[in-house]
Structure 1
Amino acid sequence: MEVDLSVIWAGLIAFSVLAYVLLDGFDLGIGILFPFLKDRDERHLAMNTIAPIWDGNQTWLVLGGGGLFAVFPLAYAIVMSALYPLIIAMLLGLIFRGVAFEFVHRTKRMQGFWEFGFWSGSLIAAIAQGMALGALVQGIAVEGRAYSGGNWDWLTPFSVLTALAVLVGYAMLGATWLILKTEGETLVRARRFAIPLGVGLIALIGVVSLVTPFLLPDYLARWFGWPSGAWTAIMPILLALAVWQLWAGLRNWDDLRPFLATVAIFVLSYAGLGISLYPHLVPPALTIAKAAAPDSSLLFLLVGAAVLIPIILTYTAYSYWVFRGKVHPDDGYH
């Protein structure tokens, strides 16, 4: 049985991106919710819930981006050419947010400026990621082996819609993370955030899911054709179960279930995205096989990944275990 290394690598990169979205998603969500928290003490408590783990969460972005460059260099070149402004905006947002996170507790005179930097950096990064996702899903113009579209092809109603969905989704992850990690007034406030954010997220997922199949003929055939449509019909059922668990967790004042249900909603939405895109890496023209580096390079890099990824997973799991439980106002990690 012949092993398709390009598909294995596509799965590894997809896993890295999903891990980044889930782990850094609630980090960004905390930043997005920042202005809506009660006061400076509550904002700093929210930051302390992610202080021990936030920088490690971004490891997955480096792994995903570096893997794409090394393993699918053609796709990397095309995507960067098409989405260059969004990629730069995302990186600048993440950098400014990271600097603000470190400086906000180091100064009194400019504390308000760095709090604004943490919020604005999180907002910009989330919007840029959402618009990049929408631009990729709607299709990137490729001619030969190069990007052939315009400078503003990424700015469309659909990319704005996906940006809004990602923004609300990250805020929902942040709210449910605060439910999991805080107590008292902060927990109650986070629960109040989670209810409208959850409704908005489900509505936006529904609109995106209805629009996506009509963007490209391949998407429509995969979701509504036969026999593929019989299998893809499972996804809305699973999503409905996750939504029910989210509502039940919020209604019963469960601290853990809302976060896990929100993670499940993200995972199922991501799986739906994979169903639409596969086997394309850059739709509609570039497949995984066409974009891949030579098998010798894929095998060489796979050996390194087989060592590196378990180490990252072990470190991540251990750090979350060490810093498990509720965070109190007198707990400080800075």
Structure 2
Amino acid sequence: MADIDLTTIWAGIIGFAVFAYVVMDGFDLGIGILFPTFSVGEERDQSMNSIAPVWDGNETWLVLGGGGLFAAFPLAYAIILPATYPLIIAMLLGLVFRGVAFEFRWRDPRHRAFWDVAFSLGSVLAAFTQGMTLGAILQGVHVENDAYAGGWLDWLSPFSLLTGAAVVVGYALLGATWLIWKTEGSTQQRARRLALPLGVATLLVLGAVSAATPFLTYDYWRRWFAMPGVLLTAQVPLLVAICAVTFFWSLKRGAERLPFMTALGLFFLGFVGLGISIYPYVVPRAVTIWDAAAPPQSQLFMLVGAAVIIPIILAYTGWAYWVFRGKVGTHGYH
């Protein structure tokens, strides 16, 4: 077991930032993915209003994760970015187009149908490319002399397409369960009807990715199935099963908050599984977190700033969610 040092602390900070982004931006991207399934008018307005106070603040964590990777692990940044440039560019374009559509939908009602389509397509594109980026990193990046040595399309594979689809489905589940919690009337009823098949689909794609990952390389297989580690890793699918049963039970009982919490639990367990597969590598099978780390003096200097900034981000994020903790209507929160 590795000693906890500045490098592992920074790996934990960036991991936390990435997971916070997936949790917080995942459900509002999910609402965009599901947007065409809601009827024009009250249902779409309610859905949009449920994320209006928080959606742009949620993306703070993406900036923190990307900026932290650049500052704390510059070698990893220099390898991963060239390996996934088309995906990163497409993701950013999707987020920008989605953000523009979000604002112009209210300010340009004559073209609202166009902005609705843009909002949905931007959300799907951002979610799909995030999943493909994950798959591209997991399947391995060709590194020579501490630099990316692969081709322009190395990121494109059946596995990365699978992980892209998995993230789209998972985000859609988060969006549906968020709307169950935050809306009422026909919007909530439609979200509840969508949540059941999305829950099944999420478990299927999670199982498919989990089954495919150990076959990418023997190292992944060994981490999951070699003794005595399997005694620990076997708890992850067990917890997934418990989470899934709780999710479907909460839907059947008509719960409002628990479906969202259990959907988050599934994402957390998926994140744990990702950590089991790749740690301590930041570029799997090529560069460890210590290989990629910035000098200790730089890490310490940034850690002082992070110790100040991250609590502030958590405080204002928590305050925003607390202020807008109620149900949302067509014209905003009650």
Partner secondary structure for residue 297 of structure 2: helix
1:326 — aligned with what? 327
Mapped pair 1:222 → 2:223: yes
* Deviation string, structure 1 residues 128-155 (Cα, Å, up to 9, x no partner): 0010010011111101110111111100
AA in 1 matched with 2:249? A
Once residues 186 and 101 of structure 2 are traced to their aligned partners in structure 1, the CA distance between those partners, rounded to angstroms, is: 25
TM-score by length of 2: 0.98
Structure 2 CA distance for aligned equivalents of residues 60 and 200 of structure 1: 27
1:172 aligned partner, one-letter code: L
Tell me the alpha carbon deviations over residues 95-123 of structure 1, each in whole angstroms, 9 at most, x when there is no partner. 11011111100012221111111111101
Does the residue aligned with 1:64 lie in a helix, a strand or coil? Answer: helix
Identify the residue that residue 234 of structure 2 maps to in structure 1.
233
How far the C-alpha of 1:2 sits from its partner, in A, is 6.8
Distance 1:30 1:89 in 2: 19
State the match for 2:67 in structure 1. Answer: 66
Off by >3 Å, runs of 4+ in structure 1: none
Matches within 5 A, 1:1-334: 3-331=4-332
Question: Matched residues in 1 for 2:211 and 2:114: separation?
Answer: 41
AA aligned to 1:207 is A
For residues 169 and 3 of structure 1, what CA distance do their matches in structure 2 show?
Answer: 32
User: Equivalents in 2 of 1:102, 1:5: separation in Å?
Assistant: 41
Distance of 2:240 and 2:25 partners within structure 1? 22
Q: TM-score, normalised by structure 1?
A: 0.98
Q: Which amino acid aligns with 1:210?
A: A
Residue 206 (structure 1) shift: 0.6
Q: Deviations over 1:264-284 (max 9, x none)?
A: 000000110011010100011
The answer to whether the Cα contact below 8 Å between 2:50 and 2:332 also exists between their aligned partners in 1 is no
d(CA) in 1 for partners of 2:42, 2:14: 38
Could you say what the CA RMSD is over the residues aligned between the two structures, in angstroms? 1.3
Aligned residues: 333
Residue 101 of structure 2 contacts residue 115 of structure 2 at CA under 8 Å; is this kept in 1? yes
Of 315-324 and 107-116, more deviation after overlay is shown by 107-116
Using the alignment, how far apart are the partners of 2:117 and 2:225 within structure 1? Answer: 45
SS in 1 for 2:18: helix
Cα distance in structure 1, aligned partners of 2:324 and 2:96:
24
Distance in 1, matches of 2:219 and 2:332, equals 52
SS at match of 2:84: helix
Distance 1:315 1:330 in 2: 24
Q: Secondary structure at the residue paired with 2:330? A: coil
Using the TM superposition, give the Cα deviation of residue 88 of structure 1 relative to its aligned residue in structure 2, in angstroms.
0.2
Supply the distance in 2 between the matched residues of 1:239 and 1:167 (Cα, whole angstroms). Answer: 19
Determine the C-alpha separation between the residues in 2 that align with 1:108 and 1:222.
54
**1:110 aligned counterpart, secondary structure:** helix
Q: How far apart in 1 are the matches of 2:200 and 2:287?
A: 36
Residues of 2 paired with 1:254 and 1:108: CA distance? Answer: 35
2:245, 2:315 → 1: CA distance?
Answer: 31
CA distance in 2, matches of 1:265, 1:9: 25
1:3 CA displacement? 4.6
Separation in structure 2 between the aligned mates of residue 25 and residue 152 of structure 1, nearest angstrom: 26
Gaps of 5+ in 2: none
Q: Which secondary structure state, in structure 1, belongs to the residue aligned with residue 110 of structure 2?
A: coil
**Paired AA for residue 34 in structure 2:** L
What amino acid is the match of 2:104? F
2:53–2:324 contact (8 Å) kept in structure 1: yes
2:214 aligned partner, one-letter code: P
Which whole-Å deviations, capped at 9, do the CAs of 1:203-237 have from their partners, x for residues lacking one? Answer: 11011111101111211111000111111011011
Distance of aligned partners of 1:67 and 1:90 in 2 relative to their CA distance in 1, 3 Å threshold: same
